[in-house]
Structure 1
């Protein structure tokens, strides 16, 4: 499929691997399979040397009614079949800008970065907005990603995009202005212990009244802290707030 080359450039194509680089992968897929057995999220591995998927979990969300083996065989052709033209162009643009950012990052830091964004998977008339995260597993001595882990879950947002790049252990992240191709650095919001407690209880499925009872405070007090939380995170509802705190590891 000729269009697949649009996802690749010199910045993300691995042309050569040394014996030592090949040896580093070992039996890592056995560990990943074990992780997938414990997670509801779909996971797959991109091999940038072979330009294909090396592994696809059997979690149903990402499969679009295919088997893992069928999705692996399709590789990047999967995107062209199940992603709308508009979102596909967005993914190609994210790919270009993301690898430009990665190419400017110090080599020793590159494994610590991950990128997150939302797009729609479409199977027939059914459309599902998913959140897609990608992070390096192995990096070559030249600093290129050899293999990357992708994790797919249901998005808590309402539209495609929402492109965020983060570095492990940092209190800031970068948000992509896709039109201008510019990364804007932003500080992660710091939540109070009461705000964290409220959002943890929401994550457990409790209603506002149940949260008030659990915390021994008035319902109006819970609503007051929720409003402050929404304003702080710049979100409109509890679903978006939960997505923000999960994506930014605030829980």
Structure 2
């Protein structure tokens, strides 16, 4: 059975604009895929600096239309990304191809991820409000060169932008880019215990410490200590942060 990446490579050469009556099979596949996911989804052509497809979802579009985004292409980012984060995103679009020039890494890579702020305008406010989002970027290679990024955007509880991660297919390691030293650092993914996974699952259901203790038939003091140990392991200070990391980076 063909994967999404297989279909992309097969039909990439025949991608057409979304308003064209003779839509490519790939665009139809994108529409089908985007209709069953809740997050924003788009495909960026790195070489042409144009969008191949954008799901009509307001999280990424920020009250702009798909037609406007498709027309502006790469310049659309200047309309929706916080001015302080825009240089970061432009830099990321340079860093990823540079990293992928190491051809031996292609088979190991699953996807890249970053956080950044989008601009949102509300009628009751005289200025833009920023919304932190988490973006996953799946690289697609054509003729041994990066050509497309399949991007999925979702809400994030991270407090600041400025990170770039590489997630490997082995699910045991990841790499983080340091924008100051301009180097990648590899690290191991923390493996959670069965109890820690249960605590996170219950916390995701908005259960407090008392309720979690009752569900797991443990004392409240025991659960508090286990939550504290979990925070130390994940290097976070809140359950909200722990849930975000467990969703994006943990086994």
TM bracket (short chain): 0.7 to 0.9
Say what the alpha-carbon RMSD is for the aligned residues.
2.4
CA distance in 1, matches of 2:67, 2:243: 33
Equivalent in the alignment of 2:141? 139
SS at match of 2:85: helix
- In structure 2, the CA distance between the partners of 1:72 and 1:171, relative to structure 1 (3 Å rule), is same
- In structure 2, the CA distance between the partners of 1:209 and 1:180, relative to structure 1 (3 Å rule), is same
Residue 145 of structure 1, CA deviation: 2.1
C-alpha contact (below 8 Å) 1:97/1:181 kept by paired residues: no
In the comparison of the two structures, how many residue pairs are matched? 230
Equivalent in the alignment of 1:120? 117
Q: TM-score, normalised by structure 2?
A: 0.83
Equivalent in the alignment of 2:75? 77
Within 5 Å, give how 1:1-251 maps onto structure 2. Answer: 22=13, 27-106=25-104, 108-109=106-107, 112-124=109-121, 125-136=128-139, 138-141=140-143, 143-250=144-251
Residue 93 of structure 1, CA deviation: 1.8
CA distance in 1, matches of 2:147, 2:156: 27
CA distance in 1, matches of 2:10, 2:28: 21
Residue 20 of structure 1, CA deviation: 8.7
Q: TM-score, normalised by structure 1?
A: 0.83
C-alpha contact (below 8 Å) 1:58/1:68 kept by paired residues: yes
CA distance in 2, matches of 1:52, 1:221: 53
C-alpha contact (below 8 Å) 2:42/2:53 kept by paired residues: yes
CA distance in 2, matches of 1:139, 1:216: 50
Gaps in structure 2 of 5+ consecutive residues = 1-8, 17-23, 122-127
Residue 128 of structure 1, CA deviation: 0.6
